[in-house]
Amino acid sequence: MRKVFLVLFLLGIVHIGGAQEKRKIAWADIDRLSWQNFEAAPDYNIDFSANTNSGMSYFWNYSTSTGKPELTHEVKSNFYPDLSWVKDVNNPEYLLAHEQLHFDITELHARKLRKRLAEYEPGRRIRQDLKRLYNITETERVAMQNRFDKETSHSENKEAELRWRKFVASKLAEYEDYAL
C-alpha cells in the first residue's frame, strides 16, 4: 500500500510539474517567427510595440557505465508564445524582423552553450561546473539582448538594426557546427 501511495504521489508531482511548464517553440523547429506566434495579450503599459519572450533550456546526463566518464547534453533555444505579444504596428515586417533577431540571439547563445558543454571535461564538480557554464552563457545572452535593444532604440534606429542583423548572422555562421 505504501508503494502504491508513493507511486501515485510521484505521478502527481510529475503531472503538476508538467502542467506548469510553459508552451514553447524550439528555434530548430521553426523557419521564422510569424505574428501568429505572438499569442499573449499586449501590455499597453509598456511603450514597446512587441515583446519576444525566449530563453534556453538544457538537459544533461553523466554516466560511467561504460567504464569511462560520459557526459551527454541537449540545449535548446525556445520561443514562448503565451508570453510574447504584439500591438498594432505601422511596419509589421520590419518589427517582426527585429523580434526574430531577439530569438536568433537566444539561438546564438544556445550554440555557445553547446560548444562549452562539448569542450567540458567532466571533473569532480560536474553539477556546479555545468550550472556555472549555463549561468555565464545566460548572463551573456541577457546582456546582448539588452545591448541590442539599447543600440537599436527598440528597433527605431534602422542603421543600428542593420548592423545587428549582419553581426548576429555572422555569429550564427561562426557557431554553425553547434546548430541542431
> pLDDT tens digits, residue range 10-28?
333 333 344 457 899 999 9
> pLDDT tens digits, residue range 114-169?
999 999 999 889 999 999 999 999 999 999 999 999 999 999 999 999 999 999 99
Give me the chain's average pLDDT, please: 89
Residue 147 CA to residue 179 CA, distance in Å, equals 24
| C-beta of residue 129 within 8 angstroms of C-beta of residue 78 | no
